[in-house]
Amino acid sequence: MRYLFLIKTNLVQSISFSVTAEKIRSVCNQNNLDYELVYTSFLGEEEEVVRKFLNEFPERPLRVIVCGNFESLHFAVNGLVDNKDVELGFIPCDGNYDFFSSFPQIPVSKITNIEALLNGRAVDIDLVKINKRYCVTVAYLGMDTNLSWFGLQLLRFCRWCSFFHFNQQWFRRVFNFSLLLLDTQPKTIRVCVNGYAVFNNTYTIVAFANTQKYGTGTFCAPLAKIDDGLVDLVFVRKLSLRAFLKMAGIYWKGLIAENEFARNFVEYRHCMNIEVETPEPTFIAMDTVVYLYDHQFHIQTIPAALRLLLPM
């Protein structure tokens, strides 16, 4: 078994727990593992490194361990696509454990434990494919997409600002509220499920969820399962300021599927294939990474597309 460890350098310097190169080397040397450790820094570098690693070591088995954030996981997965015999592990180094809400049986103490991960077990999980790119957690457009784009730009230019890094969720909430006050231009979208149009309306947020949460701590899809072969479609209609203030807590706490007030504004469906049309090119965030898509794009679930290594 050969291991590739990817460490996001700008994150490791600010974390309080010991997911460091020294710790990884110590554990691997103690267990006589065949491993390679690579630091990544620029956006998308993980995908390039993983593809190169797979080409250099075509023999199996292989394991790729990502020590980073949702962006790191996103690009590593897109580098691993079509290699189902390679196992992927994830250690969140930004203190955001939202991804593991899909695995409530895993204690928080083990999520960042390297030994527990190396001794873990692999399970099959689904991926969501949007045109040619793959998403592990949630893809979304609307207000939260603007937020993700803003956050990426701010982090690129203000990585030195530790205050922002440790108060990201607070900044996100403030920015979301600001967007609502400033965003007076209604956005429209047409959504077809299995060939039938189900929405043709203005919206605040539209999410295509493989997991229950995404990188802002938002509990957008409380019924989503990462291995059910389905993508959860969450459509939040255009909200007034008054409705938004009431909906905000309901949406972020994951109560949209059961709250009576939310049902007036939210459509929630389980799907396999979705066609989306917008009147103009639209930003879509996948695992918090923002892409610009044309007027039409296709979304589908790829069942059991990835072998995910879970700590034990």
For the chain (length 312 residues), average pLDDT per consecutive 10? 88 50 89 92 91 86 91 94 90 86 91 92 96 93 60 49 47 49 64 85 88 78 94 88 82 83 88 92 87 90 95 91
- Global confidence as pTM: 0.84
Which has the closest alpha carbon to 43: 65, 21, 74, 15? 74
Q: Which two tokens stand for residue 125?
A: 């999980």
Which has the closest alpha carbon to 171: 153, 194, 183? 153
AA letter at 149:
W
Instruction: Tell me how far apart the alpha carbons of residues 194 and 13 are, in angstroms, rounded to a whole number.
Output: 46
pLDDT of residue 126: 97
Fold of 138-303: Tumour Suppressor Smad4 (2.60.200)
pLDDT of residue 10: 67
Sketch the domain layout of the chain as residue ranges.
2-127, 138-303
**CB-CB contact of 128 with 302 (8 Å):** yes
Instruction: Tell me how far apart the alpha carbons of residues 27 and 29 are, in angstroms, rounded to a whole number.
Output: 6
**CB-CB contact of 46 with 66 (8 Å):** yes
pLDDT of residue 12: 47
- Residue 23's φ and ψ, nearest 5 degrees, are -65, -45
CATH of domain 2-127: 3.40.50.10330
pLDDT of residue 59: 77
pLDDT of residue 144: 54
